[in-house]
Amino acid sequence: MSESNPQIVASAEIRARIDTTKPHSARFWNYFVGGKDNYEVDREIGDHIKEIFPGLVDVAVTSRQFLGRAVRYLAVEQGIRQFLDIGTGLPTADNTHEVAQRVAPDSRIVYVDNDPIVLTHANALLTSTPEGRTAYLDADLYDPEAVLETAAGTLDFDRPIALIILNTLGHVADHGQARALVQRLMAGLPSGSYLVISDSTATSEGMIAASDAYNASGAVPYYVRGVEEIGAFFDGLELVEPGVAQVTRWRPDGEASDVAVDAYGAVGRKS
């Protein structure tokens, strides 16, 4: 009798961890950006929230666009060739490695997540140009030192790295803890590295109501914060113009967008 294939066994174990009875943030967001990697329970709460606050769809779409602009800015204008993307989520169009390697084929990207639904789709992320490299880590934001240690297998920590954390820190209930996690991650990166963050914000009654509805659904809660709290993640860093801004208004392509969304982001440089 032949031995079991360890990859098949691991895949089965990961699938067994997926709970399809409750909404999941990665699947929920995937539904909002037009993806197909979601379940009925995710679409139900998604449709319910669309009735409460249709603007959350704009937040999902424009946050993704912010990611693309930030990565292009770093790769093209600042010469960054290494990206550490924590809280990867489900792959859609224009993932970090696709954007970076499109303009800089030698870019190296490490994705980090520990959600089982994301793990099952990791192979979709593990593509790369011949000149670059893409890796995926099953690791936890709550253990920054382990994340950095494992990422060092792909990234060169003697050269600048862009740390990307999008729509993820809202899952950390305590703002002080969230700040400390970011600080520990940035402390392990060399001078000249960058921090990229965006998150939904408590800047309208509609967004607050949408957050409350989502948190009441049984999903892992996501807490929207004030703009000043988003800015606090960049303490000690040099903010890239225009600083902390609505994601639609952070270095927009062409004329500034007049779409107001409840999501703010920024890019900061470590001296």
pLDDT digits (tens, 9 = 90+) for 196-250: 999 999 999 999 999 998 888 888 899 999 999 999 999 999 999 999 999 999 9
Report the C-alpha gap between 194 and 119 in whole angstroms. 26
Report the C-alpha gap between 78 and 7 in whole angstroms. 39
SS3 label, residue 37: coil
Structure-token pair, residue 227: 């703009």
What is the structure's pLDDT at 4? Answer: 40
Report the C-alpha gap between 129 and 96 in whole angstroms. 13
Residue 256 has, within 13 A of its CA and on its CB side, a CA count of 9
What is the structure's pLDDT at 3? Answer: 45
What is the structure's pLDDT at 119? Answer: 77
pTM of the model: 0.88
Residues near 12 by beta carbon (within 8 Å), at least 6 away in sequence: none
Q: Are 224 and 170 in contact (CB under 8 A)?
A: yes
SS3 label, residue 241: coil
Instruction: Give the chain's residues under pLDDT 50.
Output: 1-10
Dihedral class, residue 223 (left if φ above 0, else alpha if ψ from -120 to 50, else beta)? beta
What is the structure's pLDDT at 178? Answer: 98
What is the structure's pLDDT at 12? Answer: 57
What is the structure's pLDDT at 170? Answer: 95
CB atoms within 10 A of CB 3: 6
Strands 245-246 and 263-269: antiparallel
* Amino acid letter for position 148: L
CB atoms within 10 A of CB 117: 24
